[in-house]
Amino acid sequence: MGHAVGTLKALHETDPEVFTAIRAEEKRQREKLVFIASENYASSAVLAAQGCLMTNKYAEGYPRRRYYGGCQHVDTVEELAIERAKQIFGCEHVNVQPHSGSQANMAAYLSVLKAGDTILGMDLAHGGHLTHGSRVNFSGILFQAFFYGVDRTTETIDYDAVQRKAEECRPRMLVVGASAYSRVLDFPRFQHIAQSVGAYLLVDIAHIAGLVATGLHPSPIPYADFVTTTTHKTLRGPRAGMVMCKAEHAKAVDKIIFPGLQGGPLMHVIAAKAVALKEALSPAFRMYQEQVIANARTLAAGLDELGYRIVSGGTDTHLFLVNLTSKGITGKEAQAALDAAGIIINKNAIPYDEKPPAVASGIRMGTPIVSTRGLGQSDMTQVVSLIDRVLQRPQEERVHRQVRKEVKALCARFPIFHTYQHAQV
């Protein structure tokens, strides 16, 4: 059954409905200005690897210790991914098999904790993540979860309060990391807190991995027992996760990922992780991360000048939250109006939000994806004015139409996926 490998032409012939949806998604990604802080455009090389025929291979186990024959080539890509992750992050051990950031966290927890143990994580309502103990998540179902948050005035983490909370609840694991926090995290301080109560320290760098990889955010590796990450956010790789840890936890981590939690690893995705990690080692990647931060700062400062309140007053990273309360508009309304104008953001609860999360008083904005496209600081200044025009008159369709046109023109100046239609492996 000789067939060409992985062509879009084959997809079109077999399944025009899926093909058409993919094409429509391509057009959407091409023509919209995206400020979702957790999204990025993976490179052609990453997409090629992620769409490759290594999906056909079963490889339960680890390189050179597999349960199946024929693993020589998938061993090569997994070893490359491991080697490169170690080179980038300087970790003692890494497991590149987690299917996602959530699975990476599950593995870190279950490598040393038992059901019913206590964990202390950052409150979801203050910028934390579901997997840090939320009641609706496995982490809150399995463990007794307590939370710390940000100070009401500074809107930054109150480390003294974290220390007090840790002394109160005596967690087995202190969990650090966030999905909506724009300030540098003080890892030495968190290590001190964890050690003072005999807790393991887990740092989840899902959002800031690209910044950590390039030294633009301090690394938690020297301080934490476990460091987990996604590979698809600022790291700009395939949709997946990794667990890094101290050598003493290596065996436990590997064992809980397989056979504990997962079956066969997604070798095509691991191949794509290796590619993304190679890209992350290049000087261009560091320049990209610098641009991400510069763009976020310019965007936040521009909005601030127009009277938008930036949570914590600014950003050190790739993202920030805007508190829209003083503008008389909810996060939900802002998201809908900007969406109609071709600007994609997400509504987001702000710390101490009085509105339910489905409405929210704020929005979250991040610059990884527009920076991949090539937009720079002067473009951010234009974006500030586009956003302001929409949020001044969120209901006016004429404004949506006009801004949509300008967004499309801006996007056309920064083409993306111009080779995608020829993509094949």
User: Binding of ligand PLP at residue 100 (CB under 6 A)?
Assistant: yes
Binding mask 206-225 for ligand PLP (x = CB under 6 A): xx------------------
Q: Minimum Å distance from CB 14 to ligand PLP?
A: 29
For ligand PLP, give the closer residue by CB, 128 or 331.
Answer: 128
Among residues 66, 84, 126, 129, which is the contact residue for ligand PLP, using CB under 6 A? 129
User: Binding of ligand PLP at residue 140 (CB under 6 A)?
Assistant: no
Residue 58 known to be catalytic: yes
Residue 65 known to be catalytic: no
Among residues 131, 315, 346, 361, which is the contact residue for ligand PLP, using CB under 6 A? 131
User: Binding of ligand PLP at residue 295 (CB under 6 A)?
Assistant: no
The CA–CA distances, whole Å, from 413 to 31, 233, 374, 398 equal 10, 24, 9, 23
Residue 230 known to be catalytic: yes
Residue 420 known to be catalytic: no
For ligand PLP, give the closer residue by CB, 51 or 241.
Answer: 241
User: Binding of ligand PLP at residue 204 (CB under 6 A)?
Assistant: yes
Among residues 127, 133, 177, 366, which is the contact residue for ligand PLP, using CB under 6 A? 177
Instruction: Tell me which residues in 30-49 interact with ligand PLP (CB under 6 A).
Output: 38
Among residues 60, 158, 290, 388, the one annotated as catalytic is 60
Residues carrying an active site annotation: 58, 60, 204, 230, 233, 239
Residues near ligand PLP (CB under 6 A) are 38, 100-102, 105, 129, 131, 177-179, 204, 206-207, 230, 241
